[in-house]
Structure 1
Amino acid sequence: MERPISKPIGQHFLELDTPTLIIDKNLLQANIEAIQADLEKASIDLIPNAAAHGTSAIARMQTGNNTKSPIFVDTFQQAECFFQAGFENIIIQAPPLSFTKKGLLRHLQDSQTLTLSISNISHLDAIRGNHGSPISVLLKITNKSDSVGFKTREELIKPIEYLATFEHLRFEGLITNANEMESMEQACEVLISADEYLDRNSISSDQLLLNASNLIFEKEFNNIPKGITGLISGTYPFHTKTQDTVCSVISTVISTPEPGKAYVDCGQKAISVDRGVPSVINYPDAEIEKMSAEHGYVIFDSNKLHLKIGDKILLSPASYSDTFNLYD
């Protein structure tokens, strides 16, 4: 796929070279503020998963330009990028098992507030030699939608005792992933139960974090139980309860071979289909049938809609994070 032709600042978005990813900044800001307000009512911190978009400008909006406010990332490479962009409080999901990651850990450790999510006691052996500024450690526990982590609350005691033998490592709390909306309640119960067990063993957890990065929230957060301190989310800035769309990919109709069918210049190189084909935003009677690497196949009722070459079609991705990953 060729790189888009740059256009001057101020150009109408429908005149941009296609395919291209666009964001409505005003709707983005409104979404961020609305979700933050909902969680504040429930006394829960909102921690953005900046890996969902990989964009420092969006992360600044999510943190209110407070570089000391925590963000969550999936990898050490992502942590390094956001550190270079000025962020000072980063939670990293992936353990530092490779030589390269250990080198990044030493760099990040001496430069900022760093928290690691650990899902196996052997991960502690990988970081025990990294002496320097303190590292906070979250222990990841399993639930019915995520099998990676410590499987029973009894298993938590040994790594916590092991952590206490290192001056530069500190037990921060617990984290679990909710990979399905139906598993949210059970994931919260797992966190609360594990925390209560640790408390009975004279161990306190400062953080109980629920990682729901890939879930789309369509209701308020009153059902999250008291005790959960933070919610990690990656998709919340881009989804809205209204018909307005925060994030979309612009495409252009390049062929209409027969009534009820059109081809657009946007395919799998410009919008991810790993979690499903995108939906058509600006033509409710049209839908994407399938996609090749560089083209999309649009079907519609020709009695209700007439598409012609040059028409612009806005596509909403099934996965925002996978689509952002396709762009610089």
Structure 2
Amino acid sequence: MEISMERPVFKAVGTPVEELDTPALVVDVGSVKHNIAEAHRAFVSGPSLLRPDVHSHLCPAIAAMQLDAPGTVGGVAVSTVGEAEVFSENGASDILVRNLLVTKSKIVRACGVASRCSVTVVVESAANAKLLSQISSESGIELGVLAQVKSPGGQIGAASAADALALARVVLELDGLLFKGLYADGEFPSEDVGSNTTQTLLEARATLDNSGIDVPIVSVSANEELFNSGGAEGITEVIAGAYALMDNRHTAYHSNLRHAAKILATIITHPEPEVAWLDTGQKASSIDTGLPEVDGASGVYLSRMSAEHGGLVVEGDAQNSLNVGDKVWLIPSDIGNCANVYDFIHAAENGALEAVWDVAARGRYS
């Protein structure tokens, strides 16, 4: 007997979004387009290009919108080989894997991805580089390599420009690897352009340049200043991802961007004037960085979440206007964590369902 996975029953295109079964992750397509246009504009005219971090949504349809917009390097960043596998199968031709690959099985899989598109990995040690070289050579594949430089306050990467130079020299001598440049990880909202992580990378680049080593790529995770300024001189690419959908965690830094992604929930009980409960809990939102925020309902606040339910505090006039069956919109605290708990995104335009997008890379942790 064949056993198949149960699939959700989708609503018809054109269905008003508030008639969707809940909880549902709903994305306003117009807001996504607005956010991409706003964010990419700085990189069209700025000193750097943008590399979208698709780990922030795990959705090939959104990645395609980002890559179709101007101002990018033409490729994406992912966190895992599993994510790289998914996006390479969905049209991505240039992928940077940001997590260190230190096991044979993951490197073999990365080489498999590199057989159908350009793959760049990061290294922080000669031993790691030699393992990558061994496996890529055996696979008949060339992997691009960025030497990771430790950012201020960071834990991973070459500790100094001299260490980055030594690592680059090792990579240049190894078969199956193509040295492409330098990389630094992490978000540092308090940093200014030209300081700290950016300056650390530029010092490492100068050291390599002065030693006759070409550094075509200098890649760094976005902070507020880099993102809003379109990068910085000497930085070739800035990695950012949350901008497409946005969340509460990034709102303070990007007031020109819209909350394109929201969770639609339903009130299932209103037992006391000041208390109501939603059908949406931690399984449908992720609260690692904080509770979602209620959107567009004055006097209503989310105070707690169990696995499957959310508790609302109801104040003032809302105590009389809120009813069982009413819909409530929630803004996720972290969109990457939130997207990862959904199989599908309901894409809406003008308040109606436009399409259902596959969150194809969700759960691809390895």
> CA offset at residue 18 of structure 1?
0.2
AA at the equivalent of 1:327: Y
Of 273, 280, 285, which aligns to 2:287?
273
Deviation at 1:248, TM superposition (A): 0.5
Q: Which residue in the other structure is 2:129 paired with?
A: 124
2:100 equivalent among 95, 114, 122 = 95
- 8 Å Cα contact 2:85/2:113 also seen in 1: yes
Shift of 1:152: 1.1
**Is 1:83–2:88 an aligned residue pair?**
yes
Aligned-partner SS, 2:244:
coil
Residue 215 (structure 2) aligns with: 205
Q: Superposed, which structure 2 residues align to 1:147-226 within 5 Å?
A: 147-183=155-191, 185=193, 186-212=196-222, 217=224, 221-222=228-229, 224-226=231-233
**Distance (whole Å) between structure 2 residues aligned to residue 220 and residue 63 of structure 1:** 17
Question: Residue 291 and residue 224 in structure 1: after superposition, are their counterparts in 2 closer, same or farther (change >3 A)?
Answer: same
Q: Which moved more, 1:148-157 or 1:295-304?
A: 295-304
Q: Distance in 2 between matches of 1:22 and 1:176?
A: 33
CA shift digits 1:276-321 (9 cap, x unpaired)? 0001112143221110000011113134553111111110111000
Residues 1:250 and 2:264 are matched in the alignment: yes
Change (3 A) 1:244 1:95: closer
The whole-number CA distance in structure 1 between the counterparts of 2:15 and 2:34 is 23
Are the equivalent residues in 1 in contact too, given 2:28–2:261 (CA < 8 A)?
yes
8 Å contact from structure 2 (residues 38, 257) kept in 1: no
* Alignment equivalent of 1:142, drawn from 142, 150, 157: 150
The amino acid of 1:227's aligned partner reads G
CA distance in 1 between partners of 2:39 and 2:160 (Å): 32
Structure 2: how far apart are the matches of 1:259 and 1:242?
Answer: 36
Q: What is the rounded CA distance, in whole Å, between the counterparts of 2:74 and 2:244 in structure 1? A: 17
- Superposed CA offset, 1:37-69 (max 9, x none): 112221311111111111111100010089992
Matched, 1:309 2:324: yes
Q: Distance in 2 between matches of 1:218 and 1:291?
A: 34
SS of the equivalent of 2:88 reads helix
2:3 aligns with none
**Residues 178 and 184 of structure 1 are in contact (CA less than 8 Å); yes or no, is this contact kept in structure 2?**
no
Structure possessing the higher relative contact order (Cα contacts under 8 Å, 6 or more residues apart): 2
Where in structure 2 are there 5+ consecutive unaligned residues?
1-5, 247-253, 344-366
Identity among equivalent positions (%) equals 26
Separation of aligned partners in 2, 1:108 and 1:3:
28
**Which of 271, 275, 287 is the aligned partner of 1:261?**
275
CA distance in 1, matches of 2:274, 2:52: 41
Shift >6 Å, 4+ stretches: 65-68
* SS of residue paired to 2:179: strand
Task: Determine if contact 1:68/1:87 at 8 Å carries over to the other structure.
Answer: no
Show CA shifts across 1:129-175 (max 9, x none).
Answer: 21224321111111224221111111112221111222431211111
Classify 1:234/1:244 alpha carbon distance in 2 versus 1 (closer, same or farther; 3 Å): closer
1:223, CA displacement in angstroms?
8.3
Which residue pairs with 1:282 in the alignment? Answer: 296
Q: Does the C-alpha gap of structure 1 residues 70 and 144 become closer, same or farther in structure 2, counting only changes over 3 Å?
A: same
Which deviates further from its counterpart, 259-268 or 297-306? 297-306
Checking the alignment, whether the CA contact within 8 Å between 1:5 and 1:17 is kept in structure 2 is no
Structure-2 separation of matches of 1:146 and 1:46: 22
Gapped runs of 5+ residues in structure 1? none
Distance 2:35 2:230 in 1: 20
Q: CA RMSD in A?
A: 2.4
Secondary structure of residue in 1 paired with 2:228:
coil
CA 1:108–1:184: 2 relative to 1, 3 Å: farther
Following superposition, the deviation at residue 241 of structure 1 comes to 2.7
Measured against aligned partners, the alpha-carbon deviations of 1:48-107 in whole angstroms (never above 9, x if no partner) come to: 111111111110001008999210000111101111112111111123322321221221
Judged with a 3 Å threshold, the aligned counterparts in structure 2 of structure 1 residues 180 and 88 are, in CA distance, closer, same or farther, namely same
Listed one character per residue, the Cα deviations across residues 20-46 of structure 1 (whole Å, up to 9, x for unaligned) are 101011110111111111122213111
TM-score for both structures, normalised by structure 2: 0.82
Matched, 1:324 2:339: yes
Q: Against the structure 1 CA distance between its residues 269 and 288, is the aligned structure 2 distance closer, same or farther, given a 3 Å change threshold? A: same
* Counterpart AA for 2:210: R
Change (3 A) 1:246 1:60: same
Letter in 2 for 1:202: G
Paired letter, 1:96: L
Equivalent pairs counted in the alignment come to: 324
